[in-house]
Structure 1
Amino acid sequence: MKHSRTRLVTIAKRLGIFAAVTAVALSLVQCDATPSDKDHKPSRADRSPSGPSPDGSPGGGPERLITDYTSGFDKDSGYRHPTREDRRTMAAGIALLLDHRRTEAERRLTDVDFAVRTVTDPVGGRRFAEVADRSEGGAAPRGWGRVYIDLDSPVRWSVQVPHPVADRYTERLGAQLLSHAEGGVLVVAGAHRKAGRGDEADVAHRRDSVFHAICAELVRRGLPGVQLHGMDDASAPKHDVVASTGRGRDAIAEGRDLADALRERGYDVCRAWARSCPLAGRSNVQGRTAAARDVPFLHVEFDARIREDRDRSREVVEALADVTRTWRRPD
C-alpha cells in the first residue's frame, strides 16, 4: 500500500512538471507570434488618415494625405509607363470632375482603376476631391500620381509637384498651398524621378506621362500654374530661390510679385525673366505647353533651408498664396 502511494506521488509530480513546461512553451510561442511595437512596421492600411502626422501637423488634411502617400517613394519604388489611352482617360476623368460631372468622372476613371473620394481638411473644413490609384498599395505600383481638387471654390489655378521626395518636401509645400489658398488643383507625381527605366519617371521633362496629360488639360482650360522644385546649395549658392516663368513670359507680373514678397521676408531671389539664373526651367515641358497657349506659368526652385524649416516654408506658402489670389477664373 505504501509503495502504491509513493508511485502515485511520483506520477503526479511528473505530470505537474510536464504541465509547467508546456505552459512556458506556449507562452514563448505567443510572444514570438506578436511583434513588438519597436519592430512592427505599419502597412499602408494600418495608417489612419484621421490621426496626427509624425511631425504633429493636423491629420486628415491634404498635407497628411500627401506626405503619407509619398513616404514610400524611392529610386526603386517602381514606375509603369502609361499608354496613350491611359493618359487620355486620366485627363478626360479630371476634365469631367472640373465640369462637376462626378458620376461620369468616376465611371471614366474606373477604366484605369482610379477612384474618387471626398476628403475634408479638419482645420478649415474645406472639402477636396481626391483622385487616387486603387492599386498604389500593391507590390508593383504604377506611379501615376494623385490629384486634389478644391470642391468649395471655383477652380482658378494649379500647383504642380513633379519631383516629390527627390526634391525633398516640395510635396509638403504643394499640399500647404492647396490648403492655404482657395480654388486650387494639386497635381503630384506618383514616383521618385529616378524610378523606372532611364528618365521615364522624370515627369517635368516627359510629355508621355499621366502627370503631363493632366497638367496639359488644365492649361487647355486656361488655368495658370505654379510648379515647385527643390535645389541644393551648390546649384545657386548666392540665392535662396530661383523664380522663373519657364519658356514663356505670361507670368512676369506674378513672378515679380512673388519675388518682391519673398525679398520682404528676407530671401534672395534670382529673377530669371530679368537676368541669367541657374535652374530656370526653360526645358520644362509643362511650362512649354503653358507658353504655347499664353497661359501664366511659374517655375520656382527653393533651397533646402526653406523646404526643411516649417516657419520658412510657411512664409513662402503665404507669398505663393497671394499670387494665386490674383489669378481669376478663366472665362
Structure 2
Amino acid sequence: MGSVSILVASVLVAPGLFAQFKPADAQAAQPQTNPQAAGPQAAPRMMEVPLLDCSGLPCVDLTTGSGKTLRLLVDLGEANAYIDVKAAQSLGLQMQALKGSDGRDINQVQQTIVPGAKLGDLPLGDFPFMVLDTTPQADSPGEKLESLPGDGALTYGAFKNRIVQIDAGNHVLRISEPQPGPQPCPRECTDLVIKHVGHWGPVTLTTTGFSVNGQPIEAQLDTLFTGTLLVYPNSVEKLSLKKESKAKPKEMFPFIGNGMKLARADSGTIAYSGISLLDGGPLYFGTKDANLPQTQFDATAGFALLSRAPATFDFKGMHFWMDPAKTDSTAPQ
C-alpha cells in the first residue's frame, strides 16, 4: 500500500507513469557508514523552502510561471507527482491522456505540465503532474470524509537526482540542485530501496537502519502517514509485539483510506542508526476493521517519527540518513 493508496483511497496511482527511478534490488539494504570516502568536492548547495503544516501533513508552496500558487503536500512515499483536477482547471492547464507503452491513450489517466514552476528561489522549469480527482468517495450515504488538504503533491519522483532534507523542527525543506554524481554520506546512512506494496501494488521507498525496542526493521518512509510507526501484521510476532498489537486505545487517521482507526500502544522505543527518536512513545497496529496489506517490509515510518530529527533523502546516490536534532528556540518539541 503506497502512501496515496494508504492515505487517500480516492487517488488511483498507476505505478511508473512518470518513471524516473529504476526499481532497486528487492533484497533489504544494509546499513553502511560513509559508503564513499569523502572527497575534496564541496557539500551540495541546499536551497531552503518554508515547510508548512497542512492539517498535520508537510506541505510547500509552489509558484507557477503565471505567478499563481499551488499548495502541495510533500509525499515522499509515492512515485508520481500529482495535482487535483480542480486545481488544474483553475489554472487553465491543458490536460491530455497518458500514453501507454503501446502508444495508445490511457484516457482515465490525465497528465499536464505546470510551466515555470518554482519552489521559493529554486526553479523547477516546466513540471509534469498526473491529474487526479482527490475528492474522497464515501462508502455509505451521509458519510463525512476529510478532503486532502492541498492542491496535490510533490513525490520522490519529483526530486530526481536531488538531495532533499526535511527539517521539521525548524520548519524548513532543503533541496539541492540535480547532482552530477553520488555524494558521500556525511554520517552513517542506509540505502533507499524502491519496492512494491504487496506483489502488484504501487511502488514506494523503504530503508533499513530503524529499530523498534531494539529489533531491526525495514520500513517504508511515508511523509503522509501522520503517526510514528505502523507495524504490519506479518511482522508483529517476529518483533515480539503481539501484546501491544491488541491494545484497546484507538486513534483515528483521517487520511488513511477514507479514515481509519488504528490500535495505539504507548510502549515503543525507536531509533535510527544510534539516534534515539522515541522512548516509550506510540506504536500503531491494524485492527479487525483496518484492512492492512501484506507487505515486503515490516512497518511504515510516518511524519511524526521522521520529524523528530532532520531526515535527508539522497535521490542521486539513493541513500537516507538522519541527524541529531538541531532546532531553533521557536520549534515545537
TM-score by length of structure 1 reads 0.29
Q: Answer 1 or 2: which has greater strand percent.
A: 2
Q: Which has the larger radius of gyration?
A: 1
Q: Answer 1 or 2: which has greater helix percent.
A: 1
TM-score by length of structure 2 reads 0.29
